[in-house]
Structure 1
Amino acid sequence: MTLERPIAPDPYELLPTVSSFDLTSDDVHNGEPMDARYAHGSTGGENVSPQLAWSGFPAGTKSFVVTCFDPDAPTGSGFWHWVLVDVPASTTSLPTGVQEADLGGAFSVRNDYGDTGYGGAAPPPGDRPHRYVFAVHAVDVDTLDVGPDASPAYVGFNLAFHTLARAVIRPTYQIKE
């Protein structure tokens, strides 16, 4: 059963424009379906975060924030799958299944599953393909000054004042009935 509702806007089209840089992945690709490996365990997936690599960010970058958001979730507010904060500026890639302990002080706030770390795709079975907006935000401060109990919305609020540039890749995922 496909849920009949309008397509949600891309969240970054609603924010003030910032410059962009390059974001690539060996695992996920713009507009293409993700492998089930990157889906949530509740759907039979492995709940593994994809590899991401970025370059061409502004010289004044002091840290990064990595996020994954599903604007197509049937919630009225989308669904945050990952919010990784305070990634050191010296980090320009994340391996598949990254472990936060390897990232020099970076940490995740709770996603909308109520867990920390990456929470894979899990759209309703039979719904249209959902977009998973992976974004790397180049930030002008070493730390975003939020704690692990911050909500994704609060992180986003702080990003509004500290994002120098943003790189985005938008794979999709669908569970057929």
Structure 2
Amino acid sequence: MKKLIVSSPCFEDGGLIPVKYTGHGEDVSPELVLDDLSEMAESIAIIMDDMGHPIPAYNHWVIWNIPAIALIPENIPHGEQVDSLGAIQGCGYGKHRYRGPKPPFNWSHIYHFNVFSLDCRLDLPSTARKKDLLAAMQGHILQKSVLAGHYR
């Protein structure tokens, strides 16, 4: 199986995340492009974590049941249900939405957008958190890729 490649026209892998996609800007999710997505994929899940936070891999966003599409649009709407995609957003950063980078004290943090292609849709309530999503994905992950960015 080919390796899933995740990129974004908004920033390069390892590059600076533009202010628009942060808590200091519009706080909207960036567009994500998935190359070599498995033909067997039924859905996509995304987990975005702050890797520089004192709490390891502090979660900013969890979303699942995105259709197996090659382009995840920018500015995913807030809320538990994302009707335009048929997806569900769980509790990340205490909210049902994307919460962009906003590290304290002008520190530079690295953020990982972990993207998973799955062989099914997941039956999880919107109250689910990262640990619940990770558990539900076990045995269903076809591909995984990470897009990293940093922000100060």
TM-score (norm 2): 0.89
* Aligned counterpart, 2:84: 102
Counterpart residue type for residue 7 of structure 2: T
CA–CA distance in 2 between the matches of 1:92 and 1:56? 8
User: What SS does structure 2 have at the residue aligned with 1:125?
Assistant: helix
Name the structure where strand makes up a greater proportion of residues: 2
Mapping of residues 124-135 of structure 1, within 5 Å: 124-127=104-107, 129-135=108-114
CA–CA distance in 1 between the matches of 2:143 and 2:2? 5
Deviation at 1:74, TM superposition (A): 1.2
Choose which of 116, 125, 143 in structure 2 pairs with 1:137. 116
Q: Gaps spanning 5+ residues in structure 1: where?
A: 1-17
CA–CA distance in 1 between the matches of 2:60 and 2:124? 18
The answer to whether structure 1 residue 115 and structure 2 residue 122 are counterparts is: no
Mapping of residues 41-52 of structure 1, within 5 Å: 44-52=24-32
Q: Kindly, what percent of the aligned residue pairs are identical? A: 26
Contact in 2 for aligned 1:19/1:166 (Cα 8 Å): no
Larger Rg: 1
Query: How many aligned positions are there?
Result: 148
Deviation at 1:131, TM superposition (A): 1.2
CA–CA distance in 2 between the matches of 1:49 and 1:94? 10
Q: Gaps spanning 5+ residues in structure 2: where?
A: none
CA–CA distance in 2 between the matches of 1:20 and 1:160? 18
Choose which of 109, 114, 128 in structure 2 pairs with 1:150. 128
Do the aligned partners of residues 45 and 159 (structure 1) sit closer, same or farther apart at CA in structure 2, a change above 3 Å counting?
A: same
